[in-house]
Amino acid sequence: MLFVRKKEQLGGLAISRQGSANAKACSVRILIVEDAAMARGLAERLKLSGFAVDIESDGASAAQTALLEPYSLIILDINLPNVSGFEVLHKIRQTGSTVPVMILTARYAVDDKVSGLDLGADDYLSKPFDVSEFDARVRALVRRGQGLPNPTLIGGPLAFDRAAGTITLSGRPLELRRREFAVLEVLMTRAGKLVSKDRLIAEVFGFDEPVAPNAAELYVARVRQKLGPDGPRIRTVRGLGYLLEV
Q: What is the per-residue pLDDT across 128-151, written as a single tens digit (0 to 9) for each? A: 999 999 999 998 898 887 766 566
d(Cα 2, Cα 10) in Å, to the nearest integer? 24
Mean of pLDDT over the chain: 82
pLDDT in tens, 210-229: 788 888 999 999 999 999 98
Q: How many domains does the chain have?
A: 2
Torsion angle of C-alpha atoms 137, 105, 84, 97, degrees rounded to 10: 10
Are 201 and 137 members of one domain? no
Q: What is the CATH number of the domain that holds 60?
A: 3.40.50.2300
pLDDT in tens, 68-94: 778 889 999 999 888 899 999 999 998
Domain boundary among 146, 178, 194: 146
SS3 200: helix
Are 57 and 134 members of one domain? yes
Angle of helix 197-204 versus helix 215-227 axis, rounded to 10? 80
Are 108 and 210 members of one domain? no
pLDDT at 225: 94
Domain boundary among 146, 180, 195: 146
Which structural domain range is residue 224 located in? Answer: 152-245
Are 200 and 116 members of one domain? no
Domain boundary among 121, 146, 171: 146
Are 140 and 107 members of one domain? yes
Are 185 and 224 members of one domain? yes
SS3 78: coil
Contact residues for 51 (Cβ-Cβ < 8 A; gap 6+): 28, 29, 30, 72, 182
Are 124 and 58 members of one domain? yes
Are 185 and 169 members of one domain? yes
Are 92 and 173 members of one domain? no
Report the phi/psi class of residue 58: left, alpha or beta, with left for phi > 0 and alpha for psi in -120 to 50. Answer: beta
